[in-house]
Structure 1
């Protein structure tokens, strides 16, 4: 998954005005207690981060 697709999905589910803020402030246990922004900055693959967001937000299986 490319970062552009990752951010498109984030925008679709959280809204374009909120997705970046959420990514910088919400600690996600599935990412080892890091925020999305921290995980991506530390080199975590976008697909891995998306799966963690998907689980954290309890999104439908079709969005995985």
Structure 2
């Protein structure tokens, strides 16, 4: 997953305004108590950040991949 894919999914799943707030302010224990923005800046893989954000917010698998029903994520790790 590229950073642009991450940003697109944030917008599709959470909405652009709320999604940007989450990326900037949601502290995720799975990412060493960093926000998604901090984790990405530190070099974390966007896919790992996406999974951590979705897990923390209990986003169901059916909604995790936005509006593209053919979009599939490779299994983590």
Give the TM interval when normalised to the shorter protein.
0.7 to 0.9
Gap regions ≥5 residues in structure 1: none
Q: For the pair shown, which has the larger CA radius of gyration, 1 or 2?
A: 2
How many equivalent residue pairs? 64
Shift in Å, 1:55: 0.5
Q: TM-score, normalised by structure 2?
A: 0.74
CA RMSD, Structure 1 to Structure 2 (Å)? 1.3
Q: Structure 2: where are the runs of 5+ without partners?
A: 66-77
Which residue of structure 2 lines up, in the alignment, with residue 24 of structure 1? 24
Bigger helix fraction: 1
**After the TM superposition, which parts of structure 1 deviate over 6 Å for at least 4 consecutive aligned residues?**
none
Answer 1 or 2: which has greater strand percent: 1
